[in-house]
């Protein structure tokens, strides 16, 4: 009976071994599941709008796509993106989990561009990434992609002056110096206007500008000369000259611009008073080269004490030469008289 059942038992044994072999091959396939194909898609360029007191932000919206050879032992793939924008701050998306039914996910990355960054600077955003199976320890990297950040130009014009008020006589003129300042983040062309020009002309005040349009580099200034000529018939009194600056380039591009206006003050007088010079007393006035000091030479017989009083540099040795000459003459006369007397005897 056992002999009859032996073929059946052998058949069952072969079937069981075959089943075990099938399970083992499945495990081998799980270990060799392979590398997923992961791609990142974003816009290649965004613009950041900065201002004198405001940061600019460029936000990139993208999508991650995953294609993987799924197996029963792999539940999900975890993708972590990395971001870099040089010296500019940038956000990093949270980790994303992909399953067999979820093969794409959206993300957002924001780059913060500092206040007043120049329009001439272009930033670069680099996105990298890593992936890993869950559960499991198999990991890998995702190819980097890059995008560019443009800095939008903003327009900011200002005026300043070191001569806010001047005087002018009838028939005369006054020159005001005004600085046109470019506080924008790119080179600009500025338009200078006198807002109350018609009123000033009617009052006998003519205005001339050295430049009506001036090119001003980024973060620099240019001088404008505003000449106010006063007609002989103008009235004595004060006049306000209202000066306005705006961006010619912004107007052409249809862009907003921060403009500026200042007032200059012209005082028309009969005669400009000059500062009085101090009067000089004629008695105290000295001729050029210093006062002349009369020099008198003392006689040989002048008293030594008087010489000392008049000339503090006098010394006794200076008077010894004339004194010896007088004594010598007296001595010679006495010697001659003695010789004559002896001869007569």
Domain ranges of the chain: 37-151, 155-269
CB neighbours of residue 323 within 10 Å: 13
The residue whose two tokens read 């913060």 is: 112
Calpha distance 62→259 (Å, rounded): 39
CA dihedral 140, 141, 143, 147 (to 10 degrees): 150
pLDDT of residue 278: 67
* Triad 17, 23, 27: Cα angle to 5°: 140
pLDDT at site 271:
81
- CA–CA dist 83, 110 (Å, integer): 10
How many whole angstroms separate alpha carbon 115 and alpha carbon 95?
31
How wide is the angle at C-alpha 42 spanned by C-alphas 39 and 47, nearest 5°?
A: 160
From 2.60.40.2310, 1.10.10.10, 2.130.10.10, 1.10.1040.10, which CATH number describes the 37-151 domain?
Answer: 2.60.40.2310
Express each pLDDT in 316-337 by its tens digit: 444 444 444 566 677 677 776 7
Q: Which of 195, 188, 227 is nearest to 211 (CA)?
A: 227
**Could you tell me the pTM of the whole model?**
0.63
Q: Give per-residue pLDDT as tens, 109-145.
A: 999 999 999 999 999 999 999 999 998 888 999 999 9
Strands 260-269 and 165-169: parallel
**Pairing assessment for the beta strands 122-134 and 139-151 based on DSSP bridges:** antiparallel
Over the range 220-253, which residues count as b (16 or more CB within 10 Å of their CB) and which as e?
ebbebebebbbeeebeeeebebebbbbbbbbeee
Nearest-angstrom CA–CA distance, 173 and 240 = 15
R_g over Cα of the chain: 53
| Low pLDDT (below 70) residues in the chain | 1-33, 273-328, 331, 336, 341-345
Q: What beta strand segments (E) does 49-95 contain?
A: 56-67, 76-84, 89-90
End-to-end CA distance of the chain: 213
The CATH superfamily assigned to 155-269 is: Immunoglobulins (2.60.40.10)
Residue 98: strand pairing partners? 77
At 295 the pLDDT is 56
pLDDT tens-place string over residues 279-293:
666 666 555 555 555
One fold for 37-151 and 155-269: yes
């Amino acid at each position: 009976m056992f002999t009859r059942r032996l073929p059946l038992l052998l058949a069952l044994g072969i079937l069981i071994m075959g089943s075990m072999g099938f399970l083992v091959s499945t495990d081998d396939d799980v270990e060799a599941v392979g590398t997923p194909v992961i791609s990142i898609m974003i816009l290649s360029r965004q613009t950041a709008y900065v201002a004198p007191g405001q940061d600019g932000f460029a936000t990139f919206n993208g999508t991650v796509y995953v294609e993987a050879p799924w197996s029963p032992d792999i539940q999900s793939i975890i993708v972590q993106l990395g971001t870099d924008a040089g010296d500019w701050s940038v956000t990093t998306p949270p980790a994303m989990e992909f399953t067999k039914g979820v093969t794409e996910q959206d993300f957002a990355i924001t780059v913060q561009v500092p206040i007043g960054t120049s329009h001439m600077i272009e930033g670069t955003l680099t996105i990298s990434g890593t992936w890993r199976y869950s559960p499991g320890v198999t990991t890998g990297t995702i190819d980097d992609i890059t995008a560019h950040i443009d800095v939008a130009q903003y327009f900011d014009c200002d005026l300043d002056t070191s001569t806010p008020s001047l005087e002018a006589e009838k028939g005369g003129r006054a020159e005001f110096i005004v600085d046109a300042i470019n506080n924008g983040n790119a080179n600009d062309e500025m338009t200078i206007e006198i807002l109350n020009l018609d009123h000033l002309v009617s009052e006998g005040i003519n205005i001339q500008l050295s430049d009506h349009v001036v090119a001003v580099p980024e973060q620099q200034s240019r001088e404008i000369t505003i000449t106010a000529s006063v007609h002989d018939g103008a009235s004595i009194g004060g006049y306000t000259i209202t000066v306005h600056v705006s961006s010619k380039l912004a107007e052409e591009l249809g862009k907003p611009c921060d403009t500026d206006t200042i007032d200059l003050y012209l005082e028309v007088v009969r005669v400009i008073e000059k500062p009085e010079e101090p009067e000089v007393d004629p008695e105290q006035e000295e001729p050029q080269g210093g006062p002349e000091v009369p020099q008198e030479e003392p006689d040989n017989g002048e008293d030594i004490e008087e010489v000392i009083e008049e000339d503090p540099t006098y010394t006794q040795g200076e008077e010894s030469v004339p004194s010896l000459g007088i004594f010598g003459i007296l001595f010679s006369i006495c010697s001659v008289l003695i010789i004559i007397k002896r001869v007569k005897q």
